Amino acid sequence: MRNSILIIALAVFMGACTGESDVEKLKSKLETIEKEIQAKSIEAAELQAQIAALDPEFSKKSNQAVLIKSDEIEIQDFEHKIQVQGEVASRKFITMGAETMGRVTQINVTTGDMVKRNQLLVKMDASTTENNIKELKTALELATTIFKKQKNLWEQEIGTEVQYLEAKNRKESLERQLATAQSRLDMAYIRAPFNGRINDVNVNMGEIVQPGMPVLSLLSQEEMYLKAAISEEYINDFDQGDSVEVYLPSIKKSFSTVVSAVSYVINPANRTFQLDVKVNEFVKQLKPNQFARLTLVDYENENAVVVPSDVVQQDNIGNFVFVVKTENNQKKAQKVRVVRGKTYNGKTEILEGIEAGATIITSGYREVVNGIDVRLGQ
């Protein structure tokens, strides 16, 4: 009977939808008809059960015992996970700019070069400053000599205090001027602040650069990490140290790690917060902005009642499952209302309605109705 209803309904459906070009409308109508067929089938089966209870002869004419498979529910650990998109980042990925105006006279590196801390990368023309330093050093040598002689005379109580203080002031003033000139000279030398790899060189030989103008970028793979933008819906679900599964599609690698930091500020533009994840494998194969897929556990219940998701059905009242009850040595299907929790990976957490030890129908559940006889298959 059920197959006949399905065939008639499909024929009506195909005839009514001939000429429809919108696939989504067709799918929607088909879904509606299938739900109606299922509802009618359940209604017909319930009527059969009611008639069988009132008319034993009717019961004998049909084979009421539906073949099913069942499973006893046990308390188990249930996890719900979410997948989010992340990207590789580095805490040592910087763009180095010029601190002073000058002409580029020396470029010691190219893109991809490995460099050491304090290594000279780019030099700008500083001839004026270098000449100034030479003059200051010469003047300082003379001022130092005069100061020493004046100091000796002053200690012997020869000369005046003013002559001693003037000599001292002259020497110290030249020392400060020399230090300032040396600082200006250092600005013309761009050196590596840490060990790393040159990502890009943005200037050419002979080019005049301005203060703040990007000269090159430097990357260190020593402090790589992953970052992801998480919806504020999960703001209280993650903590430092939580486990994370990472998949890197570009290199087809996976590894397990932990959350290293959780931001406490919501981005008002997209209502997300940042979550940082520690990188402990494949560091040398990672590059900033590289895509990563993160799987995180946002919910866990160590003592959960869990059932296969497909056995949880729904009618106009709510969710229900079928369990096996024994009455007068005969196994029967019983419809039980349940409150479902989260669903993940084909399993659904049941919050109310059934408990551990109940026998749930896992196969043939769509063929049974409340109170119908069932028999267990192999």
* pLDDT band, residue 55 (cuts 50/70/90): low
Q: Region 305-322: what's the mean pLDDT?
A: 93
Does a structural domain hold residue 336? no
Same domain, 118 and 18: no
Please tell me whether residue 21 adopts helix, strand or coil conformation. coil
Q: Which residue has the higher pLDDT, 280 or 53?
A: 280
Does a structural domain hold residue 239? yes
CATH label of the domain that carries residue 296: 2.40.30.170
What pLDDT is attached to residue 7? 45
Residues 278, 256 contacting (CB under 8 angstroms): no
What pLDDT is attached to residue 53? 67
CA nearest 12: which of 29, 25, 35, 27?
Answer: 29
Rounded to two decimals, the pTM is 0.63
Q: Region 337-361: what's the mean pLDDT?
A: 93
* pLDDT band, residue 251 (cuts 50/70/90): very high
Q: Region 309-323: what's the mean pLDDT?
A: 92
Q: What contacts 232, CB < 8 A, 6 or more positions away?
A: 266, 271, 272, 273
Express as a percent the part of the chain with pLDDT over 90: 49
Same domain, 118 and 88: no
**Residue 2 predicted with pLDDT over 60:** no
Does a structural domain hold residue 3? yes
Q: Region 164-179: what's the mean pLDDT?
A: 88
Residues 340, 349 contacting (CB under 8 angstroms): yes
* pLDDT band, residue 149 (cuts 50/70/90): confident
Measured between alpha carbons, how far is 31 from 23 in angstroms, rounded to an integer?
Answer: 12
**Residue 17 predicted with pLDDT over 50:** no
| End position of a domain, from candidates 300, 322, 356 | 300
What pLDDT is attached to residue 13? 46
Same domain, 202 and 103: yes
Q: Which residue has the higher pLDDT, 100 or 272?
A: 272
Q: Region 209-214: what's the mean pLDDT?
A: 90
Q: Which helix (H) or strand (E) holds 27?
A: helix 23-54
Q: Which two tokens stand for residue 90?
A: 């580095």
Does a structural domain hold residue 146? yes
Same domain, 198 and 229: no
Same domain, 44 and 24: yes
What pLDDT is attached to residue 59? 53
Q: Region 272-277: what's the mean pLDDT?
A: 96
Measured between alpha carbons, how far is 256 from 296 in angstroms, rounded to an integer?
Answer: 11
Measured between alpha carbons, how far is 146 from 167 in angstroms, rounded to an integer?
Answer: 7
* pLDDT band, residue 10 (cuts 50/70/90): very low
Same domain, 132 and 207: yes
CA nearest 365: which of 357, 354, 356, 374?
Answer: 374
What pLDDT is attached to residue 258? 95
Same domain, 193 and 101: yes
Does a structural domain hold residue 369? no
Q: Region 235-263: what's the mean pLDDT?
A: 94
Q: What phi and psi values does residue 78 have, to the nearest 5 degrees?
A: -125, 130
Same domain, 214 and 99: yes
Same domain, 195 and 127: yes
Same domain, 234 and 87: yes
Q: Region 7-13: what's the mean pLDDT?
A: 46
**Residue 343 predicted with pLDDT over 90:** yes
* pLDDT band, residue 294 (cuts 50/70/90): very high
What pLDDT is attached to residue 261? 95
Q: What phi and psi values does residue 55 have, to the nearest 5 degrees?
A: -130, 95
CATH label of the domain that carries residue 160: 2.40.50.100
Express as a percent the part of the chain with pLDDT over 70: 89
What pLDDT is attached to residue 245? 96
* pLDDT band, residue 57 (cuts 50/70/90): low
| End position of a domain, from candidates 277, 300, 323 | 300
Count of domains observed in the chain: 3
* pLDDT band, residue 65 (cuts 50/70/90): confident
pLDDT, one tens digit per residue, over 76-132 is: 999 999 999 999 999 999 999 988 888 999 999 999 999 999 999 999 888 887 888
Same domain, 172 and 23: no
What pLDDT is attached to residue 85? 95
DSSP label at 193? S
Does a structural domain hold residue 360? no
Alpha-carbon distance values, 190 to 100, 107, 186, 341 (Å):
11, 10, 8, 59
What pLDDT is attached to residue 164? 82
| End position of a domain, from candidates 266, 300, 334 | 300
Domain that holds residue 88: 82-92+220-300
Does a structural domain hold residue 322? no
Same domain, 139 and 88: no
Q: Best-predicted range by mean pLDDT among 19-33, 177-191, 246-260?
A: 246-260
Does a structural domain hold residue 126? yes
Please tell me whether residue 130 adopts helix, strand or coil conformation. helix
**Residue 154 predicted with pLDDT over 80:** no
